[in-house]
Each structure stands twice: as structure tokens, then as C-alpha cells.
Amino acid sequence: MPVNRKLVAAIDGEKVAFGLVDGDPSVVRAIREQETGDFPTFTDALQAYLREHHVAATGLDFGLAVAGVARGDTISLANCRWYISVSGLRSFFGSEPLVLNDFESIAWSLTGLDPASVQRVGPLPPRPIRPGSTFLVVGTGPGLGVAVLAMGREGKVRVYPSEGGHASFAPQNADEDALLAHLRARHGHVSYERLLAAFGLQNIHGWLAMKSGRTAGPAPAAETIVNAAQRGDAMAERRSRSSPGFWDPSWGISCSRRARSTGFTW
């Protein structure tokens, strides 16, 4: 086995991905992504990957990013039936595993990001990560991930994981008021994650069906709605464009508020 080989993995609820790092930490090879539903437990998925790539677990450094709070010995995962036992991983590898929140790990990775890989969103140019700067890191998928990266004036980097996706949704107009009332009647607390994550499209589906006076059947998967919209399906496009998680200004508003709460200034 190469010196300093590391195994890295990430679980986002629906999918699990593994990869190997040999030497250069910026290069991950032998990446394999699979559905979490294909394995009863994380250990089963882990062992299958190691067998496939003929890698021995003993003495292997291991890092894992999880969608959820990475604290304590037993870690529950968002939108996934698996749980992670840190002590079990320690016994399995014979070394101390590194377990981080998924957006915490993304925030750490930004310090080594090639500026050429940055894609601009909106009219303002990207800001470099430099001493005295603070960045909000957000992303949507099966859930809504949030973390904060801060670089002190002395150049020291700190990353703060967050469960900011659970912040309460704040409507900005009458339509969003109606949407909030619709979702509150069904779910109680309505978080931004309930709208901005992928399953927000399914929630919008039910709301639009109610507005049109139709009985809502089982909501199609988010991917199905997006694919139909791309094919020109008018109703699917309306569902997609009504979702704050994809095109609505609510996405930008929620990010702006979070950024300001971290002390962000341009």
C-alpha cells in the first residue's frame, strides 16, 4: 500500500461516494458513487468498496463527510436510515477517523481551490479568500447545507458547521404567505430546507395542485419534475419556477440574510 494513502468518503443521504488519496491531497482517484439504499449499512458499502479496489483497512487513514451533525460517537444522517459509529470505525481501521459535517468539509476545501475553478453567479466578481474575510458556504440537494469559513487577519482559517437549513422560512409576498400556510398545515414548522432542498419541488407540486382546485396525488420525484420542465412541460416548468430552491428570488434572499448574520461585508 502506498505511503500516506487515505480513504475518503461522503454521504449526502441518498448517495455515498468513496475515493482514494495517494500523496497529493488535491487528487482523489478511484471514485465510486452508489445509492445508500443499495446497502443495509454504511459498513456494508465501505467493505464492498475496499474489496473492489483490493485495499486493506488496517492502518488506513479515513475521512468521512456526513449530511448531519458530526458530533458524538453515534451519528445520525439526514434523509438516510444509516447511522455512523465513530468507535466502530476506529476499531475497523485501527486509527482515529476524521468525521466532519459535509458543508464543513466543503468549506475547508475552499482554501485550496484553484481560482480558475470558480464560476461567477451574478454581476459581482468572486472574492478571494484572504486574511480578514468571511464566507458563507451554502448548497442544496437532498438537504440544505450551510457552513461559515472565516480567515483571521493573521491568516488562520476557522470553519463553523451549521444546521442553518432549519431556519424558519420568511415569506416576502402573498403567494409565499399562502405557500407557508399550506406547508405549515401539513408539516408544522416550515424551514428553508423544506423549500430549498430538492424535495421542495414536491412540496410546491402539492401547493400548485391545491391552488388549481385539483386533488394532489403522490408528488413526482424532483428529478422527474425538472426533466419534464426541460422537455417543455408547462405545468412542470411552473412547478420548477415556483420553487424558491431553484429559480425564485427567495433563494438569493435567504443566502443574503445568512451572509449578513455572519458579519459579511463586500
Q: Which residue is it, cell 408547462?
A: 234
Q: How many angstroms separate the CA atoms of 44 and 170, rounded? A: 41
Residue 25's Cβ-side half-sphere holds a number of Cα atoms within 13 Å equal to: 8
* Phi and psi at residue 121, to the nearest 5°: -120, 115
pLDDT over 50 (residue 82)? yes
Grid cell in block for residue 93: 481501521
Q: Please, which residues have CB within 8 angstroms of residue 231's CB and are 6 or more apart in sequence? A: none
Per residue in 153-186, pLDDT (tens digit) is 999 999 998 877 788 888 888 888 988 998 999 8
How high does pLDDT run on average in the chain?
83
Task: Report pLDDT for 247.
Answer: 44
Three-state secondary-structure class, residue 225: helix
Interval 84-128: pLDDT, tens? 999 999 999 999 999 999 999 999 998 888 878 888 877 888 888
Q: Which domains does the chain have, with CATH numbers?
A: 5-106 (3.30.420.40), 174-252 (3.40.367.20)
Dist CA 160 CA 105 (whole Å): 10
Whether residue 44 is predicted with pLDDT greater than 70 in this model: the reply is yes
pTM: 0.79
